[in-house]
């Protein structure tokens, strides 16, 4: 039987959207705030943001253990209304995608702490290679980890969020079983309610 109700597919950014912080800077603000000037130096030297975060991890892990970084990330603020929203979306059996230039470690840590990791269907972000015994973390660009290079001039080299959005849309268009209409809501900045709604 065909369901006449449109299926909703949500696509959220993460920083300043599902959480009220920039996760990349939040990690060191409470542990080694002096890294802010180090970050600026790297950026001025031509390092990409992902390369910069790789160096930030190296600096942090000379002084802290991975579990201490995890404890710090668990404190990253997520509004209770956002938590309730994600749980309600799950109840309605909608698909939730996170498309973020953060990383798997930060995002999964926060979602687990807030009890909403099972509310998210897919996370599209930079990968992490972690070795707790050696106390090392390496960040791997999304484009490399998933073999998806791009030539978009508006996006950083490690990922094009627009291409990921189109990939999700095209995936559903290729599997239209029991679906009469799809509505895609791409929320990129929760505070200002900036979003794009696509009705297919």
Note if 15 is an active site residue: yes
Identify the active-site residue in 13, 20, 29, 67.
Answer: 13
- 20 labelled ligand-binding: no
- 13 labelled ligand-binding: yes
Identify the active-site residue in 15, 20, 118, 131.
Answer: 15
Question: What is the SS3 assignment for the chain?
Answer: CCECCCEEEEEECCCCCCCCCCHHHHHHHCCCCCHHHHHHHHHHCCCCHHHHHHHHHHHHCCCCCHHHHHHHHCCCCCCHHHHHHHHHHHHCCCEEEEEEEEEHHHHHHHHHHCCCHHHCCEEEEEEEEEECCCCEEEEECHHHHCCCCCCCCCCCCCCCHHHHHHHHHHHHHCCCCCECCEEEEEEEECCCCEEEEEEC
- Say which residue the tokens 């404890």 belong to: 71
Cα angle for residues 185, 114, 155 (degrees, 5° grid): 45
- 79 labelled ligand-binding: no
- 24 labelled ligand-binding: yes
Give the Å distances, CA to CA, from 83 to 1, 90, 110.
Answer: 33, 11, 11
Note if 131 is an active site residue: no
Known binding residues: 13, 15, 24, 101
Q: Which residues are annotated as a binding site for substrate?
A: 24, 101
The residues annotated as belonging to the active site are: 13, 15
Binding residues for Mg(2+), as ranges, are 13, 15
């Amino acid at each position: 039987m065909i369901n006449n109700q449109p299926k909703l597919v949500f696509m959220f950014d993460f920083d300043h959207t599902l959480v009220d912080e920039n996760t990349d800077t939040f990690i060191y603000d409470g542990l080694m705030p002096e890294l802010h000037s180090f970050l600026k130096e790297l950026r001025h030297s031509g390092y990409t943001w992902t390369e910069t975060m790789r160096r930030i991890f190296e600096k942090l892990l000379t002084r802290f253990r991975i579990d201490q970084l995890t404890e710090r990330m668990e404190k990253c603020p997520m509004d209770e209304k956002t938590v309730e929203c994600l749980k309600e979306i799950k109840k309605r059996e909608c698909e939730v995608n996170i498309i973020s230039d953060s990383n798997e470690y930060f995002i999964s840590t926060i979602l687990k702490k807030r009890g909403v990791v099972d509310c998210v269907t897919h996370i599209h972000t930079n990968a992490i290679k972690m070795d707790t015994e050696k106390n090392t973390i390496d960040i791997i660009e999304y484009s490399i980890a998933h073999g998806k290079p791009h030539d978009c001039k508006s996006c950083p080299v490690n990922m094009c969020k627009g291409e990921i959005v189109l990939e999700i849309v095209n995936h559903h268009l290729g599997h239209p079983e029991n679906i009469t209409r799809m509505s895609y809501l791409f929320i990129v900045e929760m505070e200002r309610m900036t979003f794009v709604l696509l009705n297919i």
